[in-house]
Amino acid sequence: MKMRAAVLEQFGAPLSVQEVELAKPRAGEVLVRLAACGVCHTDLYTASGADPSGYAPTVLGHEGAGVVERVGPDVTLLAPGDHVVTLFSPQCGECVHCLDPRTNLCLAIREQQNQGFLPDGSTRISRDGEPIRHFMGCSTFAEYTVMPEIALAKVSPEAPFEHACLFACGLSTGLGAAINTAAVQPGATCVVFGAGMVGLGAVAGCRLQGAERIACVDLSPERLELARGQGATDLLLAGANTLEEILEMTGGFGADFTFEATGNVAVMRQAVEAARMGWGLCTVAGVAGKGETLDVVPRFLITGRRIAGSSFGGVKGREGVPVLIERYLAGEIDLAPFVSHRIGLEEVNRGFELMEAKDGIRSVIEFA
Ligand SMILES: NC(=O)c1ccc[n+]([C@@H]2O[C@H](COP(=O)([O-])OP(=O)(O)OC[C@H]3O[C@@H](n4cnc5c(N)ncnc54)[C@H](O)[C@@H]3O)[C@@H](O)[C@H]2O)c1
Ligand SMILES: [Zn+2]
Ligand SMILES: [Zn+2]
């Protein structure tokens, strides 16, 4: 079938929205009609050419929500009409990691996905017979996509698509960092560095876990106000004295739980040092630049602090995303402030511009 899609032709150039060919789903695959898709830094990172593992041509986009249009042979998990959220982090349910509660890093299709192929090593997207690669296994800057059934979460049809798509990436990452990775305890003191989608999700996750005090640190007063809306009790404008302010706020000890959601390794170090002696846990969610390292004075660890990393918030996608969406539907999370702009697919490059200008948290592409 023919569809419109935003193709990355060349690194550093705007995406080109055009007609491409999409083949029908093969065994274990599903055709999804996209209804909404968030525009994320990771799309821009690849489009810019900064990502060393990037490739082109490819259809970008990985924060999709939509409806199953048809299923390929042997599909058992989904049926036409199901509402789904795309998962760049799949859940096969069978690999050694899927069977272990300690991790969500499914091993099933990583290698092919990282190279831009579906699990059988080919692409469904093409143009004039030339293959176009898939991005993060999703390629959701398009009217339709074909994805493995293990990379789609079936979610409540009651969730509006423009909110459901937020759970495909940063929001679940932040919520999950607090709920799964850190497992914040009721009454705890928490500090979240960064108030983008991930950091705001972490603030909300700390609140849902019953934290008593939630400080949020950011460079932007507007974003700190959004953090207040998600449950932050203390707002700190990032500066030279941030660490001192946190220590002062916590009787000189530091916080029970700290979260890093900026991608800046200097902030990661602050997040380690802001964790409490004895049992403070620092959870790193930000993605650092290639080759950057985290500098930690070992004494901070010997005196009882721990560091954990979190990918997609430790959420096993097919099971976990529907649960988070139920909590949202129950009124536990307010997502309206996250959707700052609604744009059409043709305006995808404007979504990138808005992001670079730090205008709002998410631009969401709506498909007619
Ligand atoms: N682990 C995962 O699975 C996963 C998933 C999605 C995103 N990420 C990563 O998480 C990070 C955050 O993503 P996002 O979408 O929220 O990004 P974002 O750019 O919207 O938010 C980052 C925030 O950090 C703030 N910031 C920058 N420097 C700071 C400093 N010195 N002190 C305090 N705050 C500072 C910025 O003002 C901004 O509000 C990125 O590195 C992203 O790549 C990780
Ligand atoms: Zn994303
Ligand atoms: Zn698996």
User: Which CA distances in Å does 147 have to 29, 42, 278?
Assistant: 5, 19, 45
User: Of the candidates 217, 94, 70, 199, which has an alpha carbon nearest to the alpha carbon of residue 147?
Assistant: 70
- Considering every ligand atom, which ligand is closest to the CA of 94? 3
Annotation says 63 is catalytic: yes
Question: Residue 137 and residue 35: Cα distance in Å, rounded?
Answer: 18
Q: Ligand 1: list residues with CB < 6 Å.
A: 41, 169-170, 173, 193-199, 217-220, 223, 238, 261-264, 267, 285-287, 310-312
Annotation says 206 is catalytic: no
Annotation says 110 is catalytic: yes
Annotation says 83 is catalytic: no
User: Of the candidates 197, 130, 133, 189, which has an alpha carbon nearest to the alpha carbon of residue 165?
Assistant: 197
User: Which CA distances in Å does 125 have to 85, 209, 299?
Assistant: 20, 42, 52
Please tell me the predicted confidence (pLDDT) of residue 353: 97
User: Which CA distances in Å does 246 have to 51, 188, 223?
Assistant: 34, 14, 19
User: Of the candidates 154, 153, 144, 152, which has an alpha carbon nearest to the alpha carbon of residue 23?
Assistant: 144
How many CA atoms, within 13 angstroms, populate the side-chain half-sphere of residue 66?
A: 34
Ligand 1 pocket test target in 86, 89, 198 with most atoms within 8 Å of CB: 198
How far away, in angstroms, is 286 Cα from ligand 1 center?
6
Please tell me the predicted confidence (pLDDT) of residue 368: 78
Which residue type, as a one-letter code, is found at position 224?
L
How many CA atoms, within 13 angstroms, populate the side-chain half-sphere of residue 55?
A: 14
Which atom of ligand 1 is the closest one to the Cα of 263?
A: 41
**pLDDT by residue, tens only, the chain of 368 residues:** 999 999 999 999 999 999 999 999 999 999 999 999 999 999 999 999 988 899 999 999 999 999 999 999 999 999 999 999 999 999 999 999 999 999 999 999 999 999 999 999 999 999 999 999 999 999 999 999 999 999 999 999 999 999 999 999 999 999 999 999 999 999 999 999 999 999 999 999 999 999 999 999 999 999 999 999 999 999 999 999 999 999 999 999 999 999 999 999 999 999 999 999 999 999 999 999 889 999 999 999 999 999 999 999 999 999 999 999 999 999 999 999 999 999 999 999 999 999 999 999 999 999 97
Cβ-count burial of 96 within 10 angstroms (0-12 exposed, 13-18 middle, 19+ buried)?
Answer: exposed
Handedness of CA 284, 286, 292, 297 (dihedral sign): negative
CA 98 to chain centre: 19
Question: Residue 310 and residue 122: Cα distance in Å, rounded?
Answer: 30
Contact 61, 135 (CB under 8 A): yes
Which atom of ligand 1 is the closest one to the Cα of 198?
A: 16
Q: Are strands 144-148 and 29-38 parallel, antiparallel or unpaired?
A: antiparallel
Strand partners, 85: 65, 153
